[in-house]
Amino acid sequence: MKKIILLSVAIIISSLLIISCSKENITNVASYVTKGTWRVTLYQENGVSKLYYFSNYDFIFSNSTVTATRNASTVTGTFSTKYDDSKNKLVLNFGNTSPFNELNDDWEILEESATKIRMQDVSGGNGGADLLTLEKY
């Protein structure tokens, strides 16, 4: 009986540690992205590069707002982070402003560091994946 209780306690503690570590990454992503200027270094829709949409735009994230600037052109949207479907996500919304509305989604975070954030969005309809990478500039 003691073994069953100890095993149950160990499973509960392990589960809590895994959940807390996953949710901790959300805080890391938010702290990373709000420091400095970022650029899109990869944007693919179903394996087709569309990086040219965002070429040379500087992205600055601050207070739930994301601003993309290139020369005199500025586009503003919102961002947030969340833990959903057992995944850490960065949520972007630029409204209807084309081509930035292509980024409107809750992006699953695949890899994050202080200088690089790799993400994907798997489409519900055809199952294709869009890829987005931001790198600190």
Percent of the chain with pLDDT over 70: 77
Confidence of residue 63 (pLDDT cuts 50, 70, 90): very high
Identity of the residue numbered 65: T
Does 133 score more than 90 pLDDT? yes
pLDDT of residue 118: 97
* pTM for the model: 0.80
pLDDT of residue 123: 74
Burial grade of 88 (CB within 10 A; 0-12, 13-18, 19 or more): buried
**pLDDT tens per residue across span 7-52:** 444 444 444 334 444 454 566 888 999 999 999 999 999 899 999 9
pLDDT of residue 2: 58
Domains and CATH numbers, the chain: 2-136 (2.40.128)
